[in-house]
Amino acid sequence: MSLITIIGRGHSATRAMSNTLAASGVYMGEPLNKSWDLIPALDMYDACRIFSKYVDWTPGASPAADSFDGHSFNWSWQRAYDSEIPEAFTRRIKSFLHTVLESKAEHKGWKIPETTLCFPWIYRLFPDAKYIFWIRNPRDCVIGGHVTDDLCKFGIPYDNIFSDRGRRAVSWLYQYKLVQSAPRPKNWIEVRMEDFVLKQEETLSRLEEFLGFPLARIPVKPEAVGRYIEDEKDDTTDPNYFPVFEEAMREYGYEVPATYKTALLNISSPVNYDTAKIPEYTLPELLEMNDGTAVKSPGQWPARRKEILDVLSTQEYGKLPEGKADVTAELIEGGSAFNDKAVREQVKLTFSFNPGDGVKSHSINLLIYRPAAAVGKVPAFLGLNFHGNHTVAADECILINDYCKALRVNRLATPENKGRGTYEGSWCPELLIDNGFALVTANYEEISPDYHCCFHKGVHTLFQNDDWTQLQPDDWATIGAWAWGLSRIMDYLMTADWIATDKVSVIGHSRLGKTALWAAANDTRFAIAYSIQSGCGGASLAKHFYGENINAITRNFRHWFCQNFNQYANNEQAMPFDQHFLLASIAPRPLYVSSATKDHWADQKGEFLALRAADKVYNLLGKKGLDTDDMPTDEHTVGAYNGYHIKEGPHSVTLVDWENYIAFARRHFGL
């Protein structure tokens, strides 16, 4: 009795081999689809996702040969090789293969391309099986689509690629490198699809010798070979060759092109920068319950606010996890800064939670500057930084932790201290100290990495038991994780004896502006929320359809939002909510939104209009909001409880921004 399987990337024509085996009397399980894949495949998919938990990815560390389009790819499967195979993986594989494993047929097997994604554990489970490694010219592979095109669906991290064929190339590279990394099973044969088609007799003879029984001859289609030749001439398609293919193409005898097309087509929906093309739209009503009841009094607002948070949770950002994580703190370093005007503290925060199979923990590193001469408790700004704590100030004592050094966005975080203080102008810590405020910050990617399929890393793992395989459509994504992390930092600050816990503002720029808003919406301990050029998915109205749109943001950064948000790509007018819901949910606490004149991507007008739309809730609650329909033309703040300014310049944070933020906080804190 022999067990046979076929591995190889999807859209490699592996069906030809599966069809041949079935026609030769090999039992291939049941049921089978038209590609001769064993189905249903959900257990196999989940097994792949379990395997992916043991895959490590180091962004930015690949050799040039494994890079393209400005991206790098460097995976390691060492943990998978060193670890025991989890019972959850074995259980799912046996469930998927139950018809094959239970069969008494002399020869039996299965084919599904996803087997390749967990091949190192498959051959450990079935060491005596016969493995047919099916190879096809990658230029032909990327022409057609397959479910494995986007590795993120299987929990495998990789740098963001904006084109479909680019993602297919990454998937091809990943599977090639994975197979190359694995020890060869004792029963192993490699077969090129092109040889199977163009040299059928010769190839089948090799296979018969390998398998030990005769094989049927099925019809083959020579036109399936070399489809890339005509595709290369087609100026309406994306490239079919990527430099990462070269090593494998030479290894398997494929011709490496001297020249090839490289231009990527515009694969996103059009971005509108013409105000005349902004569609007519009607914003969903803030002061109307889901059942149509009008909200006319402050007493009705809490119930309406809950409805608003529910729709934002299930349709945009994802539901935050239930259960309270424990937060412990360890002072790692302390000292003085800014000519002794500030006390510096560096604190390691550890979050712990038991999802049902043991306590899991995750740590981040806080940097705190607080006024040294303060009498009494001090107010604070809390915000996440992009590039590492050491970039916030030119302070030689700021630690560069090992995690930060490895992050894609933190290539400046080197042992030579390059990048130290690079973004001091974006944080203005000494200005804050001079005005009596503390600054509390941490690197956002320490909470959750900012790349596709980051959900096996960071704080998400606290809530995943061993059987967890993937997010549900309304589960929290990375914006939710970063917001959750801000609340856990706030948990720690509530225990500090130097801080005025009722005067903590949460602030963020760009994607972290979206994060600050969502944190403030869910955590009323934040006294003021500041959104800096947060744009689409932040302070800007989606229905205004100017600058970045939902199709662009969910295609390029789909890990930021829950999966349900994808349904509104190119479908903004169908949304039962918009970003004025998010802003209004913060009422009656003060809220500040700022834009930049050259940051059209973030839709400055859409941000202003969303803030203005939130006025009706502030007014209901007895607070004066923005109270103007005219966008300001200078860099000064307008509004009362809703503050707004637009500064001259691009997408950035500068001194004039901080001067306005500090003045707004001083006014509302009575300082």
**Edge-to-edge order in the sheet of strand 342-353:** 326-337, 342-353, 360-371, 438-443, 378-385, 499-509, 528-532, 591-596, 642-647
| Percent of the chain at pLDDT exceeding 70 | 94
608-619 burial, b at 16+ Cβ within 10 Å, e below that, comes to bbbbbbbbbbbe
378-to-102, 368, 592 alpha-carbon distances in Å: 69, 12, 20
**Which of helix, strand or coil describes residue 11?**
coil
The predicted pLDDT at position 468 comes to 85
pLDDT at position 59 over 70 = no
Least confident of 160-164, 180-184, 256-260, 591-595: 160-164
The answer to whether 44 touches 63, Cβ cutoff 8 Å, is: no
pLDDT (average), residues 651-666: 97
The token pair at 659 is 């001067």
Give the active site residues: 510, 651
Q: By C-alpha distance, which of 175, 184, 32 is closest to 109?
A: 32
The residues pairing with 380 across neighbouring beta strands, listed in sequence order, are 438, 504
**CB-side exposure of 87: number of CA atoms within 13 Å?**
2
**Which of helix, strand or coil describes residue 202?**
helix
The answer to whether 40 touches 141, Cβ cutoff 8 Å, is: no
User: Which residue do the tokens 């090639």 mark?
Assistant: 176
The residues pairing with 531 across neighbouring beta strands, listed in sequence order, are 508, 593
Q: Which helix (H) or strand (E) holds 542?
A: none
- Asked whether the domain spanning 298-320+376-396+422-669 has the same topology as the one spanning 2-251, the reply is yes
pLDDT at position 469 over 90 = no
The predicted pLDDT at position 308 comes to 98
The token pair at 97 is 């293969």
The predicted pLDDT at position 67 comes to 53
Residues 6+ apart with CB under 8 A from 102: none
The predicted pLDDT at position 317 comes to 98
Q: How far is CA 311 from the centre of its chain?
A: 21
Q: By C-alpha distance, which of 357, 418, 356, 347 is closest to 387?
A: 418
pLDDT at position 579 over 60 = yes
pLDDT at position 537 over 60 = yes
pLDDT at position 64 over 60 = no
Task: Express each pLDDT in 269-295 by its tens digit.
Answer: 578 999 999 999 999 999 999 999 999
Domains of the chain, residue spans: 2-251, 298-320+376-396+422-669
Q: Cα(268)–Cα(31) distance, rounded to whole angstroms? A: 38
Q: Cα(15)–Cα(12) distance, rounded to whole angstroms? A: 8
Task: Express each pLDDT in 607-658 by its tens digit.
Answer: 999 999 999 999 999 999 998 999 998 899 999 999 999 999 999 999 999 9
pTM of the model: 0.86
Q: Cα(618)–Cα(641) distance, rounded to whole angstroms? A: 8
The predicted pLDDT at position 235 comes to 85
pLDDT (average), residues 195-222: 96
**Which of helix, strand or coil describes residue 600?**
helix
Q: Which pairs count as long-range contacts for 471-474, CB under 8 Å and 24+ apart, including other chains?
A: 471/318, 471/562, 471/563, 472/563, 473/562, 473/563, 473/564, 474/313, 474/314, 474/315, 474/318, 474/319, 474/562, 474/563, 474/564
The answer to whether 365 touches 348, Cβ cutoff 8 Å, is: yes
Task: Express each pLDDT in 82-140 by its tens digit.
Answer: 999 999 999 999 999 999 999 999 999 999 999 999 999 999 999 999 999 999 999 99
Q: Cα(585)–Cα(517) distance, rounded to whole angstroms? A: 9
- Confirm or reject CATH 3.20.20.70 for domain 298-320+376-396+422-669, answering yes or no: no
Q: How confident is the model at residue 409 (pLDDT cuts 50, 70, 90)?
A: very low
Q: Cα(596)–Cα(540) distance, rounded to whole angstroms? A: 13
The token pair at 445 is 């990617």
Q: Check residues 536 and 157 and name the one with the higher pLDDT.
A: 536
Q: How confident is the model at residue 74 (pLDDT cuts 50, 70, 90)?
A: confident
The answer to whether 105 touches 27, Cβ cutoff 8 Å, is: yes
Residues 6+ apart with CB under 8 A from 526: 382, 486, 490, 504, 505, 506, 519, 520, 589
Phi, psi for 240 (deg, rounded to 5) = -115, 0
The predicted pLDDT at position 141 comes to 93
The token pair at 612 is 């203005």
Q: By C-alpha distance, which of 4, 90, 81 is closest to 47?
A: 90
Q: Which helix (H) or strand (E) holds 209?
A: helix 200-211
The predicted pLDDT at position 70 comes to 59
Using CB atoms within 10 Å of the CB of residue 124, give its burial: 0 to 12 exposed, 13 to 18 middle, 19+ buried: middle
pLDDT (average), residues 388-407: 81
User: Which residue do the tokens 């689509």 mark?
Assistant: 145
The predicted pLDDT at position 65 comes to 53
Q: How confident is the model at residue 519 (pLDDT cuts 50, 70, 90)?
A: very high
Q: Check residues 653 and 555 and name the one with the higher pLDDT.
A: 653
Q: How far is CA 560 from the centre of its chain?
A: 5
Please, what is the average pLDDT of the chain?
A: 92
| Percent of the chain at pLDDT exceeding 90 | 80
**Edge-to-edge order in the sheet of strand 188-192:** 107-111, 2-7, 130-135, 188-192
Q: Check residues 496 and 259 and name the one with the higher pLDDT.
A: 496
The CATH class of the 2-251 domain is: alpha beta
Q: Cα(168)–Cα(43) distance, rounded to whole angstroms? A: 23
Identity of residue 1: M
Q: How confident is the model at residue 414 (pLDDT cuts 50, 70, 90)?
A: very low
pLDDT at position 26 over 80 = yes
Q: By C-alpha distance, which of 106, 153, 144 is closest to 14?
A: 144
Q: Which pairs count as long-range contacts for 292-298, CB under 8 Å and 24+ apart, including other chains?
A: 295/620, 296/620, 297/620, 298/620, 298/621, 298/622
The predicted pLDDT at position 408 comes to 44
pLDDT (average), residues 543-552: 95
Q: By C-alpha distance, which of 318, 319, 351, 316 is closest to 458?
A: 351
Q: Cα(325)–Cα(106) distance, rounded to whole angstroms? A: 54
